[in-house]
Amino acid sequence: MLIVLTGIDGSGKSTAARALVSAVRADGRKALLLSNHAGRRTMSVLGDRLGFRWPDRLADAVETTLRTINVLASHARAGLFDGLVVMDRHLYCQLALRAAKGLPRGRLLPMLLAALPAPDAVIHLDADPAVAHQRITARGTDNETLAELASFRDAYRSLPEYAQFTVIDAGAHEAELLARLKSITDGDTQPNVPAGQGVQAGHIPGSPL
């Protein structure tokens, strides 16, 4: 089974992915975590130190290259693994970033998405931009403005693929969010839960999720 996690920065994707893989392994099942980062945090920190803002097209070119390499490598590893594979981020993330910056989708990423094995579920952690911004500020490793996060959230929702995502409120309490993720890996098909509805909306930053 292949699960992909998406969401804006500060939505808790990496933490949720690690928690899900650990829980599945604790149940005696095989699980593999694969990360498809694009170097955005490193680029952000480097830009801040140098007082330099990356031009949108240059940043996208670097991020797309790194993300595509990681996604292709992850799918190669996933094809050899007999168990649950959880991917932290995917090409959908780069498409959302492009939309947020007003850049065209292009042909390569949609073509790759059509050619690669389709995930059994794309789980989108829908976070309140204000809460996500507080989390990012608290960890102090990168810098995103509230306006950028709000634009990123809207960009995800504008993707044609978004209608097929399983949307979960990223503000849910850790235990409830993990239970929802596990239920999906067990074949549950409950309807999407947008942010602001369902369990524990508006969970404060500082929680593991």
DSSP-assigned states of every residue in 140-171: -S----HHHHHHHHHHHHHSGGGGGSEEEETT
pLDDT at position 32: 98
pLDDT of residue 53: 75
pLDDT(209) > 50:
no
pLDDT value at residue 139? 81
SS (H, E, C) 111-125: HHHHHCCCCCEEEEE
| DSSP letter, residue 118 | P
Other beta carbons within 10 Å of 136: 21
Supply the pLDDT for residue 201: 32
pLDDT of residue 195: 39
Mean pLDDT confidence for 161-176: 94
Neighbours of 168 (CB within 10 A): 27
Res 165 pLDDT > 80? yes
Band (41; pLDDT cuts 50, 70, 90)? low
* pLDDT score recorded for residue 42: 67
Total-model pTM? 0.84
Mean of all residue pLDDT scores within the chain: 86
Using pLDDT thresholds of 50, 70 and 90, give the confidence band for residue 50: low
pLDDT-derived band at 43 (thresholds 50, 70, 90) equals low
Residue 48 DSSP class: H
pLDDT in tens, 98-154: 999 999 999 999 999 999 999 999 999 999 999 999 998 888 777 789 999 999 999
pLDDT at 124: 98
- 65 is written with which tokens? 């290259």
Residue given tokens 């399983």 in the structure block: 166
| Amino acid identity for residue 203 in this structure | H
H runs (alpha helix) in 80-103: 91-100
What is the rounded distance in angstroms from the CA atom of residue 7 to the CA atom of residue 88?
A: 10
Domains of the chain: 2-185 (3.40.50.300)
- Helix (H/G/I), strand (E/B), else coil: 121: strand
- 180-202 per-position pLDDT tens digit: 999 999 876 444 444 333 333 33
Taking CB atoms within 8 Å and a gap of at least 24, the contacts of 154-163 are: 154/100, 155/96, 155/97, 155/98, 155/99, 155/100, 156/6, 156/7, 156/8, 156/92, 156/96, 156/99, 156/124, 158/99, 159/92, 159/95, 159/96, 159/99, 161/92, 161/95, 161/113, 161/122, 162/124
